[in-house]
Amino acid sequence: MRLPLLRDPGDIATAVLARARALGFSAAGLVDAAPLGSHDRYRAWVAAGHAGDMEYMTEPASVAARADLSALLPEVASALVVALPYGRLPLPPAHAGRVAAYAQGEDYHLVMKTRLHRLGRELPALAGRPVAWRVCVDTAPVLERELASRAGLGFVGKNTALIAPGAGSAFLLGELLMDLPLAPVAAGADTSMRCGRCTECIDRCPTGALGERTLDARLCISYLTIEWTGIIPLALRPLVGTWVYGCDICQDVCPFNEGAGAAVRDPELAPRARLTAIDLPRLIGIGTAQHRKLVRRTALRRAPREQLQRNACVAAGNVTDAAAWPALVEALSAAVLAGHPLVRGHAAWALGRLSQGKGDRAALALAAAREKEEDPWIVRELMLACDPREERNEH
C-alpha cells in the first residue's frame, strides 16, 4: 500500500529537481510511471537480432521488465530522469588508439549512482514520510531514452542517441524511481524530432550499423570493441579504425554537437591523460598489473585485458605504423605462444597488414609463428596474413 504524502506534491517535486541540479546534473525532469510506449519497438529490435550477443538485453525476463517500471520497483509512481554531461574532446594523434569520450574519465556508473543514492536518502525528509526508491544507471532494464524524452531532456535522433538542442548528445542518463505520486515536470528541452533531412550519422558510420533511428549492434564499433568478446569479423576489422573502446563517430558528425554546449563536461568526468591517446604498442603488450591501473575506476573495467589487447592489435593494423611491429611480433613469439589466442590471431592479422612483403620483420614473424602454431583459427589467420590473396572467409 502506498503511503500518503505529508507535504504538498508540488513542493516535493520542486525540491527534488532543485537537489538534482545542486548535485551537478545538467538537466532533470520528472515523469509518471505510465507504461513505456516504445516497448513494442524494442521487442521488434530484439527479434530482428540487432542486439547481437547481449543476453542482458535479450533474455525474456529482461525484455519483459522494460515494459513497465514496476518490474524494478513495484510501488513506483514517478521517476526523476537526469543528465550528466561528459563533453566532446579533441581528436588524438592519428597513430594513437581512441577511447570514447564518455569513458575517458571517472566511471560514470560510480559518479551517477553516488549522487542519485544521496538524493534517494534525502527523499524521506523532502516528502515527510518513508519513501521507496531505486537508482537506475545504464545497467538496469529501463528504456531510458523514452523516459528522458518524456521528461523533456531531448529527442531521439537518427543516430539513436538522445539529443538536447543547444547541448548536443554528449551526456549520460540516470533515473531515480520513487513511490511518490509527483506530477510530470519537463526539463524544458525541445523534444520534437529535429533531424530533418540530415543523414550525416547514417552516411558516416563506417560499418553501416545505423538505419533510420535504429542500430544493428552487430555492426557497431562500440559493440565490437566492448560487448563482443570473440573474433572480430575480417570484413569489419579495417572499418574499426583506431577505436579500442567504444566509438563517437555518429555523435562527432552530428550538427547538434557543433555548439559550445556540447563541450560542457562534469568535473568528475574530466578525461585522464592515459586514456586521451592510447599507446597502441603498449596496450598490445600490457601486463595484468598495468591493465588494472589503466582501467581502474573507469568504464573500461568492463573489458578484459585480452579484449583490449585484441582491439589494440586491430587498431595497430589499421594505423600501419611500424612502431607497433615489435609489440605485434612479441605477441606471436615463442615466449608468449601460450598467450591468449584472441590476441595472437588478431596480432597475425595486423602484422599481415603491416608487412611489405617477404623478408621484412613482419613476414618473418608470421612465418615463424606459422611453424609453431596449433590453433586452427590462428593457423588460418597466419595463412591469410602471409598471403592476402587467399580467399578471406568470414569467421
Q: Is the dihedral of CA 254, 256, 259, 263 positive or negative?
A: negative
Q: What is the pLDDT of residue 6?
A: 67
Indicate if 23 and 161 belong to the same structural domain.
Answer: yes
The 10s digit of each residue's pLDDT in 246-265 is: 999 999 999 999 988 889 99
The 10s digit of each residue's pLDDT in 345-385 is: 999 999 999 888 777 888 888 998 888 888 999 999 999 99
**In the predicted model, is pLDDT for residue 394 greater than 50?**
no
Q: Which domain holds residue 163?
A: 9-88+105-178
Length of the chain in terms of residues written: 395
Total domains in the chain come to: 2
**In the predicted model, is pLDDT for residue 305 greater than 60?**
yes
The 10s digit of each residue's pLDDT in 307-325 is: 999 999 999 999 977 788 8
CA atoms within 13 A on the CB side of 312: 27
Q: How far apart, in whole angstroms, are the C-alpha atoms of residue 96 and residue 94? A: 6
Indicate if 307 and 158 belong to the same structural domain.
Answer: no
Classify residue 393: in a domain, yes or no.
Answer: yes
As a whole number, mean pLDDT of residues 172-184 equals: 97
Residue with cell 531531448: 154
- Which percentage of the chain shows pLDDT scores above 90? 82
Catalytic site includes residue 375: no
Classify residue 69: in a domain, yes or no.
Answer: yes
Residue ending a domain, choose from 178, 199, 225: 178
Q: What is the pLDDT of residue 320?
A: 79
Classify residue 188: in a domain, yes or no.
Answer: no
Classify residue 328: in a domain, yes or no.
Answer: yes
Q: How far apart, in whole angstroms, are the C-alpha atoms of residue 72 and residue 79? A: 12
**In the predicted model, is pLDDT for residue 395 greater than 60?**
no
The angle, 0 to 180 degrees and rounded to 10, between the axes of the packed helices 325-332 and 361-372 is 10
Q: What is the pLDDT of residue 2?
A: 63
Nearest to 106 by CA among 252, 299, 291, 243: 299
Hey, how many other C-beta atoms are within 10 angstroms of the C-beta on 387? Answer: 10
Widest pairwise Cα distance in the chain:
82
Classify residue 364: in a domain, yes or no.
Answer: yes
Indicate if 306 and 159 belong to the same structural domain.
Answer: no
As a whole number, mean pLDDT of residues 90-101 equals: 94
- Which percentage of the chain shows pLDDT scores above 70? 95
Checking 329-333 for CB contacts under 8 A at 24+ apart, the result is: 329/361, 329/362, 329/365, 330/284, 330/285, 331/284, 331/285, 332/365, 332/366, 332/368, 332/369, 333/365, 333/368, 333/369
Classify residue 386: in a domain, yes or no.
Answer: yes
Nearest to 83 by CA among 208, 13, 165, 175: 175
Q: Which of 138, 279, 321, 360 is catalytic?
A: 138
Tell me what the pLDDT averaged over the chain comes to: 93
Q: How far apart, in whole angstroms, are the C-alpha atoms of residue 23 and residue 154? A: 20
Classify residue 212: in a domain, yes or no.
Answer: no
Classify residue 186: in a domain, yes or no.
Answer: no
**In the predicted model, is pLDDT for residue 389 greater than 60?**
no
